[in-house]
C-alpha cells in the first residue's frame, strides 16, 4: 500500500485530515525523495562539508542543510496548503505570499536535515516536521501561527535517510511508517500502527557526563550497574543523530536523553521543530516525552528557536530518568538565570 493509497483510505477516518493536509504530507514526501537522492550521491555531487556560513544558533551550516532547506521551502511555496514556515535554518518565520494565502490552512515547522554533519561518515540522518492549523485569518501566516503548544499539532513526523529511507508520521490517530521503494519511487506502508515497547536501551552522550546535573549522572551510573537476579545492565546505544536514535528506540524500546548541561542550562534541542514533533509521535506510539519535570507538549513557546532538555521514549524508562532528576534537583539547572537562557 503506497502513501497515496493510505492517505486516501484514512482521510475519511480523521476529521481534520482535510485534502489540504493530505496534500501537505504528499509535498513533504516529494521533497524527501529529492533530498534522499542527493544524500545517496553526496560524495559525488560535492554535497559534503560545510557551506562556509553559520545559522542562527552559531552552528556551521552544511551544504546539505542549505540544499534540503531550499527544497522543502520550494515545495511548500509551490503548494497551496501552507501559509507560513519556520525552519531551523532561518532566523525568522517565512510567510508565504501567493494567490492562495487567504485560504492556506497550515503552518509548518521543520528541521530540514537533523544530524547533517554525520553525512561524511555515512551515519543515518533525518528530516523532522510539525504541522499546526493557523490561528490568523486571511493573508500570509504569522509567527503566532507557529508559536503554539505541542498539544495543538495536527500532524508531525520525520524522514530517516539510512540503510533504507523511511517516512514516519502521525495525524493523531496512531503512528505509521512508510519505506521508500526505489524501484517504483513510492513510499510504501511497512510499519503500520507503530508502538514503542518497554526496553533497556539508553541513548545519551556520556562524554558530557561531568557537565550534566546530578540526577542525570546518577541515572547513567544506575544504568551501568549490574542488576540483581536475571536482569542485565541497560544497554548504551548512542548514534549522535537524534532521528536515528529515536527511530531505533521507537522500534526496540528505550530512552533518548539530551539533558541540560553546564554549557546549555536550558538544553540544546529546539522545542518547536525537534522536540514537539517527536513528542507528538512518541505519545501516539504509547511512549512519553518530558523535559525532566514537565510534559514536552505542554511547554508554552515564546520563541521559534527556544531550547529545552529532552527525555523521550518508553514510559518506564522516561519515568526512571524523571525520578532521578526529581530526587536530585539542581536549582541552577531547573531555574537558570534569564541572562543565560539561549535560543
pLDDT digits (tens, 9 = 90+) for 166-213: 999 999 999 999 999 999 999 999 999 999 999 889 999 999 999 999
Q: How big, in percent rounded to 5, are the helix, strand and coil portions of the chain?
A: 35, 25, 40
DSSP 63: H
Task: Compute the distance between CA of residue 269 and CA of residue 291 in angstroms, rounded to an integer.
Answer: 11
Three-class SS of residue 87?
Answer: strand
pLDDT at 216: 96
* Backbone phi and psi for residue 186, each to the nearest 5 degrees, phi listed first: -130, 145
Task: Compute the distance between CA of residue 192 and CA of residue 278 in angstroms, rounded to an integer.
Answer: 17
Task: Compute the distance between CA of residue 241 and CA of residue 249 in angstroms, rounded to an integer.
Answer: 12
Task: Compute the distance between CA of residue 190 and CA of residue 6 in angstroms, rounded to an integer.
Answer: 11
Residue among 42, 111, 41, 106 nearest 79 (CA): 106
* Backbone phi and psi for residue 160, each to the nearest 5 degrees, phi listed first: -115, 125
Which residue is it, cell 528506540? 249
Task: Compute the distance between CA of residue 281 and CA of residue 305 in angstroms, rounded to an integer.
Answer: 20
Percent of the chain with pLDDT over 90: 68
Q: Give me the helix-helix angle, 19-40 and 63-78, nearest 10°.
A: 150
- Beta carbons of 196 and 249 less than 8 angstroms apart: yes
121 Cβ contact list (under 8 Å, min separation 6): none
pLDDT digits (tens, 9 = 90+) for 261-315: 999 999 999 999 999 999 999 999 999 999 999 999 999 999 999 999 999 999 9
pLDDT at 289: 98
For the chain, list the strands marked E by DSSP: 50-54, 60-62, 82-87, 94-95, 106-114, 125-133, 153-161, 165-170, 176-181, 186-191, 201-203, 235-236, 254-258, 269-270, 288-290, 307-308, 310-313
HSE of 121, CA atoms in CB hemisphere, 13 A? 7
pLDDT at 58: 55
pLDDT, mean over the chain: 88
Task: Compute the distance between CA of residue 54 and CA of residue 256 in angstroms, rounded to an integer.
Answer: 27
Residue 227 has pLDDT above 80, yes or no: no
Task: Compute the distance between CA of residue 209 and CA of residue 214 in angstroms, rounded to an integer.
Answer: 9
Amino acid at each position: 500500500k503506497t502513501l497515496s493509497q493510505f492517505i486516501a483510505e484514512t482521510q475519511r477516518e480523521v476529521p481534520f485530515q482535510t485534502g489540504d493536509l493530505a496534500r501537505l504530507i504528499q509535498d513533504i514526501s516529494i521533497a524527501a525523495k529529492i533530498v534522499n537522492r542527493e544524500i545517496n550521491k553526496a560524495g559525488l555531487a560535492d554535497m559534503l562539508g560545510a557551506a562556509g556560513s553559520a545559522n542562527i544558533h552559531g552552528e556551521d551550516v552544511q551544504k546539505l542543510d542549505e540544499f534540503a532547506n531550499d527544497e522543502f521551502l520550494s515545495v511548500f511555496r509551490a503548494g497551496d496548503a501552507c501559509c507560513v514556515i519556520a525552519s531551523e535554518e532561518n532566523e525568522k518565520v517565512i510567510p508565504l505570499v501567493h494567490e492562495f494565502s487567504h485560504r492556506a490552512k497550515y503552518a509548518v515547522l521543520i528541521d530540514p536535515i537533523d544530524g547533517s554533519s554525520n553525512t561524511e561518515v555515512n551515519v543515518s540522518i533525518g528530516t523532522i516536521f510539525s504541522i499546526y492549523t493557523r490561528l490568523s485569518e486571511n493573508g500570509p501566516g504569522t509567527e503566532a501561527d507557529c508559536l503554539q503548544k505541542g498539544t495543538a499539532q495536527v500532524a508531525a513526523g520525520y524522514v530517516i535517510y539510512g540503510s533504507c529511507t523511511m517516512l514516519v508520521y502521525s495525524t493523531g490517530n496512531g503512528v505509521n511508517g512508510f519505506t521508500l521503494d526505489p524501484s517504483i519511487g513510492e513510499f510504501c506502508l511497512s510499519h503500520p500502527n507503530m508502538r514503542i515497547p518497554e526496553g533497556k536501551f539508553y541513548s545519551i552522550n556520556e562524554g558530557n557526563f561531568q557537565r550534566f546535573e546530578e540526577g542525570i549522572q546518577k541515572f547513567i551510573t544506575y544504568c551501568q550497574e549490574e542488576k540483581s537476579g536475571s536482569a542485565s545492565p541497560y544497554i548504551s546505544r548512542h548514534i549522535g543523530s537524534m532521528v536515528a536514535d529515536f527511530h531505533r528506540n521507537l522500534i526496540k524500546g528505550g530512552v533518548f536523553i539530551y539533558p541540560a548541561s553546564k554549557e546549555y542550562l536550558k538544553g540544546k534541542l529546539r522545542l518547536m521543530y525537534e522536540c514537539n514533533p517527536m513528542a507528538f509521535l512518541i505519545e501516539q506510539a504509547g511512549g512519553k516525552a518530558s523535559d525532566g519535570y514537565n510534559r514536552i507538549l505542554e511547554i508554552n513557546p515564546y520563541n521559534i528557536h527556544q531550547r529545552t532538555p529532552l527525555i523521550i521514549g518508553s514510559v518506564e524508562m522516561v519515568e526512571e530518568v524523571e525520578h532521578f532528576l526529581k530526587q536530585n534537583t539542581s536549582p541552577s539547572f531547573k531555574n537558570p538565570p534569564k541572562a543565560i537562557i539561549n535560543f
